[in-house]
Amino acid sequence: MKSSDLQRYYRYESNVLKPDTPFLRTFLRVRDTPKGFVVISEYMFDQWSRIGKRSTDKAYKRKLERLVLHSSINKYCYPSKAEALKGFIKRQERRYEILSQQIESVEEFLKSVRTTNGGRRESYV
């Protein structure tokens, strides 16, 4: 099996070094299952294809694979870069919602701590 013969899938992820530029990861579709298909990172394909048949090798091989379900609304990776970008934007919007809720929670806690006992801070220790 050659990597050039396999269908490519894409996933954008946050780039730590350049937060304004998402990082594009490429995956290869290696096999189909009744409920979806299995992909592996293009970067790891050569190593994955050389793994042997022993049980320990199979376990390691499975760690490199990722199952993408046909029925899932938000897929792990997409067949086009445009769809992958839409998925990335949805994930980032959800991430923003979660982080905003966490910030509100912390602000409320700090506000309640600062205003207890007539402005004196209580020790929680």
What are 61-86's pLDDT values in tens digits? 777 788 899 888 888 999 999 999 99
What is the predicted pLDDT for the residue at 107? 92
Is 22 in a helix, a strand, or coil? coil
Q: Is this model's pTM higher than 0.95 or not? A: no
- Higher pLDDT, residue 22 or 48: 22
- Higher pLDDT, residue 89 or 114: 89
Is 49 in a helix, a strand, or coil? helix
Residue 100 pLDDT more than 90? Answer: yes
What is the predicted pLDDT for the residue at 123? 60
Task: Provide φ and ψ at 37, rounded to 5°.
Answer: -150, 160
Q: What is the DSSP string of 79-116?
A: SSHHHHHHHHHHHHHHHHHHHHHHHHHHHHHHHHHHHT
